[in-house]
A and B are shown apart, each in its own frame.
Chain A
């Protein structure tokens, strides 16, 4: 029994590492612009589909991965400039609907380009599964966790130790006053959206060998990332990391112990519980604003 639970935990960590990446994109955009970007999952889909099709065409895996992240970033940049920026002063509810529209548009374009067939991508490292204290992880999981370390580490260094990162934190803390300091909020908002798209794209690239890639994978990933972000706290990057792993573990443990049918549902039960009991999330702040 303990061995089984350990295996469920490991499976949860593997899935949670992916959710954490998607949640990071939600949090980054929300912190800087106050926007909940429901197109976040589609950037993961774009990353996965682009990487799978480029690798399928014979491009080396590293190049395929890099180009996939670039494509996701470019689509993110275009999406922001064409759909969100023109309406940036609109009511937040309208902006949420715009991101939903953007999500449908990206998914539709992917259906047009790639069709309904799933594409597969080889695991980045060949070899057998990784054994951890008797439990088994897929050979791709260390790559997903590596992507988490890369993304969260880079965001930490950027926000804490670079001049622009300090300016971003000032803009997050108090947008109107940051504006009077000459901190360009619109520019920072744009780049946060592009960075979130890139992070989503990277998430898609590392998940593709596990789940394969299809035009409609973004919806599920996006919803899970959103639940993870709310669970951890929409304004907290450490929260996104914790929320991602917790959600993955909840899903896999409940799926294993009760029934696999619970895996999909448990996330939404958690979402409702968090919104009722602790709306700011586990690590979110009740931000003091003047």
Chain B
């Protein structure tokens, strides 16, 4: 039995009288890809919002590596090693692809140390005293290596506002991986990608799993999800209706009825 990295315990989210999530519990292990499946409006994104601290749950608790997340700010939750992507990619407009990845690496390398290193950070990259220069060059080299290993290789110097939707998605993924998360929440990372890019992202997901990351993957592309997920949780109308291996879930009549239909069967 692997260690449970992320435990979702009885989460409920109510907006007025409407329950977006109701008593949802599951655990995601380190080094595991947990697929989250369900029709639109099932509560998948709300669940990610709760885990990443954007939405405070009405009831329940999320525990990450033994730490309770309730009451913690988005920044503190991120600092614990939980990183997410969004259904619509979120970019830093005005930065280039390389800068977007470098800023994540920089934040990762010196978390919360901007005030003490403030004066050092004022020096332009590549000049300054040797330790600073070495650090900056190492960050840029790592940014370049990450970009080179992704389908963004030819786009390093492009400003983010010139990217296509698919390219934005790939950049968001590269940026998330640069933060070296312990839990990675991916919200429909394959939508808008061509088949080559899909294969690349799935490879990145597998690599993250091998590095011991707990990956939560919301995805409507069922075949791809089943190909990469170790286990699946299925939500419908805010409730968990199934949890198990891919085989168990696709054979579950409740899941077939609520979501899959004839798609997989």
A residues in contact (CB < 8 Å) with B = 157-158, 161-164, 166-167, 169-170, 172-174, 176-184, 187-188, 191, 287-288, 290
Contact = CB atoms under 8 A, between A and B. Distances in A.
B107 A181 contact: yes
Contact of B95 (A173, A176, A179, A188): A173
A191 B118 contact: yes
Interface of B: 52, 73-75, 78-79, 83, 86, 88-95, 99-100, 102-104, 106-108, 111-112, 114-115, 118, 121-125, 136, 139, 161, 179
Contacts of A290: 86, 88-91
Given A182-B107, A187-B114, A169 B92 contact: yes
Contacts of B92: 169-170, 173-174, 177-178
Contact of B123 (A162, A166, A179): A162
A145 to B, nearest CB: 24
Contacts of A187: 114-115, 118
24 contacts: A157-B124, A158-B122, A162-B122, A163-B139, A164-B118, A167-B107, A167-B114, A169-B99, A172-B94, A173-B92, A173-B94, A174-B90, A177-B92, A179-B73, A179-B74, A182-B107, A182-B108, A182-B112, A183-B103, A183-B107, A184-B114, A187-B115, A290-B89, A290-B91
Contact of B115 (A173, A182, A184): A184
A181 B125 CA distance: 20
A161 B125 contact: yes
A177 B122 contact: no
Given A177-B90, A182-B75, A184-B114, 20 more contacts: A157-B124, A161-B125, A162-B123, A162-B125, A163-B106, A163-B139, A167-B103, A167-B121, A169-B95, A170-B95, A170-B103, A179-B74, A180-B74, A180-B78, A181-B103, A182-B108, A184-B115, A290-B86, A290-B89, A290-B91
Contacts of A183: 103, 107, 114
Contacts of A181: 78, 103-104, 107, 179
10 closest cross-chain pairs (CB), A and B:
A164-B121, A180-B78, A182-B107, A173-B92, A161-B124, A181-B107, A170-B92, A290-B90, A179-B75, A182-B111
A163 B125 contact: yes
Given A170-B103, A290-B90, A163 B121 contact: yes
A176 B161 CA distance: 18
Contacts of B111: 182
Contacts of B104: 181
Interface centre among B93, B100, B118, B136 (most CB of A within 10 A): B93
B128 to A, nearest CB: 9
A162 B74 contact: no
B137 to A, nearest CB: 11
Given A173-B92, A177-B92, A182-B111, A166 B103 contact: yes
Nearest to A180: B78
A144 to B, nearest CB: 25
A188 to B, nearest CB: 8
A122 B106 CA distance: 46
B88 A166 contact: no
A182 B78 contact: yes
